[in-house]
Amino acid sequence: KILSTIPNIPHKDVPIGDNENDNVEISKSGNIPSFDFKPKTHYELGEKLNMLDFDLATKTTGSRFVFVKDKLALLERALSNFMLDKHVLTNGYKEISPPLIASENTMYGTGQLPKFENDQFEIKFDENTDRKFLIPTAEVILTNIVKDKIVDLKHLPMRFVASTPCFRKEAGSYGKDTKGMIRQHQFYKVELVSIVEIDKCLDELERMTNCATGILDDLGLPYRKMILCSGDMGFSAEKTYDIEVWLPSENKYREISSCSSCSSFQATRMKTRYKNNNKETLHVGTLNGSGLAVGRTLIAVMENYQQSDGSIVIPEKLRPYMNNLEKISSN
């Protein structure tokens, strides 16, 4: 039981540090927009358009939920479909539409349990089955596709992508980002997962991160790439890059993707192995990354493409997914 609470060991490339203040910027990309007016927040824009409704969601459900309506709902769907198409058709991922509920054992396999149980939504199922949880990320269910398997070397690398709702209690974030869509109990995310030979992990991490930043390049959104320090990394990760997108209303960068190599940490818990060319049996390497968080990409498009009259110009790459609509405005 004690062993199950010990995290992965950081890779030697990872900077030593205590928290997010010790993360290191690797690169910046794109042009930060300059406005001749005070840029509004995404929730001011959305409420003025009558297309984001937080009050209604509080009434029907509770805090940290939202109704996305009308053309903004279309924009959210367009983002998800654009990301999926790019990852499948260009980046070589296989699309999966997975279950949104995971067993206790599945959650253990990727490292969500036992350490982060307080952040999970457990659901009541039959009395006689093991415990079940709503997925906090599609990483959980996609990575476990290879659970208890000896994978044939010729099938590696495996690359999966899914667009799913994700569910998190956001325990420990009380008072943070209480307004708007930045931190919600339910949000859409396009998730990338790779299963690779153990010595290919770091190369795959670079490739995966480039797949994620490629979406931001296509959308013309300014961002920076960070390497996380040892104190800010996830439980299962050996090395993590965060991609942060520019939000004009906050005048700063905010996380929109996290891409991690987990080395053999999850594979050991899931008992997933492969035989290499020397016929040695080894644990696979697993990686996961957001490609991207859809809600936060929606926020970034709204804020970076806003006009002085409160309308939002649609990035060109998304227009084919939106009946060639060029702009969202209230009329």
Q: Tell me whether residue 168 is one of the annotated catalytic residues.
A: yes
Average pLDDT (236-261) is 98
Q: Which of 168, 207, 269, 273 is catalytic?
A: 168
User: Residue 280: its pLDDT value, please?
Assistant: 96
Q: Which of 183, 224, 254, 319 is catalytic?
A: 183
User: Residue 129: its pLDDT value, please?
Assistant: 77
Residue 249's alpha-carbon distances to 56, 110, 175, 331, in angstroms, are 24, 35, 19, 24
173: pLDDT strictly greater than 80 = no
Q: Tell me whether residue 255 is one of the annotated catalytic residues.
A: yes
**Which pTM was predicted?**
0.96
Tokens of 57: 């969601």
User: Residue 255: its pLDDT value, please?
Assistant: 97
Q: Which of 139, 261, 296, 303 is catalytic?
A: 296
Count CB-CB contacts under 10 A for residue 180.
20
Say which residue the tokens 């992990």 belong to. Answer: 201
175: pLDDT strictly greater than 80 = no
Q: Tell me whether residue 197 is one of the annotated catalytic residues.
A: no
128: pLDDT strictly greater than 80 = no
Pick the closest to residue 225 from 248, 67, 239 (CA basis): 239
Binned at pLDDT 50, 70 and 90, residue 268 comes out as: very high
Q: Which of 258, 261, 263, 264 is catalytic?
A: 258
Q: Which of 230, 255, 311, 319 is catalytic?
A: 255
User: Residue 211: its pLDDT value, please?
Assistant: 99
Average pLDDT (308-318) is 99
- Rounded Cα distance, 83 and 297, in Å: 11
User: Residue 331: its pLDDT value, please?
Assistant: 76
Q: Tell me whether residue 296 is one of the annotated catalytic residues.
A: yes
Give 116: exposed, middle or buried? Use CB within 10 Å, 0-12, 13-18, 19+.
middle
Q: Where do the structural domains in the chain lie, given as residue ranges?
A: 3-38+70-319
User: Mind giving me the DSSP string for 87-107?
Assistant: IIIIS-PEE----SEEEHHHH
2: pLDDT strictly greater than 90 = no
Quote the percentage of the chain above a pLDDT of 70: 99
Average pLDDT (252-280) is 97
User: Residue 315: its pLDDT value, please?
Assistant: 99
178: pLDDT strictly greater than 90 = no
Q: Tell me whether residue 257 is one of the annotated catalytic residues.
A: no
CATH superfamily of 3-38+70-319: Bira Bifunctional Protein; Domain 2 (3.30.930.10)
The SS3 assignment for 204 reads helix
